[in-house]
Copies of this chain bind each other. A is one copy, B any other.
């Protein structure tokens, strides 16, 4: 397979990593202007192997190992985008995106508005994010709020291999800069992926992944699976939870949440990132404003604490796992 992708005859079962790899491969094959840039993405294939084999097949000019400098990577990606390329940047871990934060916030996010639409920057910044893999410091963080607050960026996170494939394709297709957050602790989980063009969905909208009537549970990325587990447990206790996968964190598909909450009257939002100034705050504030007279209980948030991500031997306590989600659900149902 040299620079080409085969279109499968039907859906396949693959890991989330393999789906991302397939999406990058397809984008490289389809559009010669697509480039990959990052640390160790070439021969190594990235520390998580998301780019495995791509440099071999598309060459060093299209899959570029860069110097170890995140600001340099994003800054030169902006220049490449200005010159007509569509760079897809890999940041090795969530905690290492901050040296590039200035370029992302002051340049990448703003250049379209600055030029009143004359400049488009189709740059994707892929970041493996989140905890639960037993890693050392800076390797388990969830910085989505720090991007979502910044106008000009789109922020999204897939929860399944199928979404990983199609959302990454969509991110690369988009003419807006996208921060693409990959739930690293779900990298090796498998799911069905239909890569045939006919299966292509549009831009990511929220999806009801389990229907229910008693309470709405909103999540994205790595927490969607946790919330589905919680819903299964709650069902045994007679509570039907509706689980929504947001997919996009900026913008947020409030209409979908709104619709659900009007039926259930109760909402719990779960994410790994710290609760304070996190996505849950925005969702709680906006949905309460929209659905004030439909809510039978205050919106509850479950997420990380206002602490740095802890050493790995404490991460089970820190992460909002099944029990903490169920606890919030119970409290919301009791209210």
Give A residues with C-beta under 8 Å from B.
71, 95, 98-99, 101-102, 105-106, 109-110, 113-114, 137-138, 145-146, 148-149, 151-152, 250, 273-274, 276-282, 284-286, 288-289, 292, 297-301, 305-308, 335
Contact = CB atoms under 8 A, between A and B. Distances in A.
A277 B71 CA distance: 24
Contact of A250 (B113, B145, B276, B335): B276
Given A101-B102, A288-B299, A308 B110 contact: yes
A199 B286 CA distance: 41
B279 A288 contact: no
Contacts of A152: 308
A291 to B, nearest CB: 9
25 contacts: A98-B101, A98-B105, A109-B308, A110-B308, A113-B307, A145-B277, A148-B276, A148-B277, A149-B273, A149-B274, A149-B276, A151-B308, A250-B276, A250-B277, A280-B285, A281-B282, A281-B284, A281-B285, A281-B286, A284-B284, A284-B289, A285-B285, A289-B300, A289-B301, A292-B297
A138 B335 CA distance: 45
Number of copies: 2
A149 B145 CA distance: 8
B289 A151 contact: no
Nearest to A101: B101
Contacts of A298: 288-289, 292
A301 B277 contact: no
A278 B138 contact: no
Contacts of A305: 151
Given A113-B308, A288-B284, A288-B288, A149 B106 contact: no
Given A101-B101, A145-B145, A149-B277, 17 more contacts: A98-B102, A98-B105, A101-B105, A109-B308, A113-B308, A148-B277, A149-B274, A149-B276, A151-B274, A250-B277, A277-B277, A284-B285, A284-B289, A285-B285, A285-B288, A285-B301, A292-B297
Contacts of A148: 276-277
Contacts of A292: 297-298, 335
Nearest to A292: B298
A280 B286 CA distance: 10
Contacts of A113: 307-308
A201 to B, nearest CB: 24
A308 B105 CA distance: 10
Contacts of A273: 149
Nearest to A269: B285
A324 B277 CA distance: 23
Contact of A95 (B71, B106, B149, B299): B106
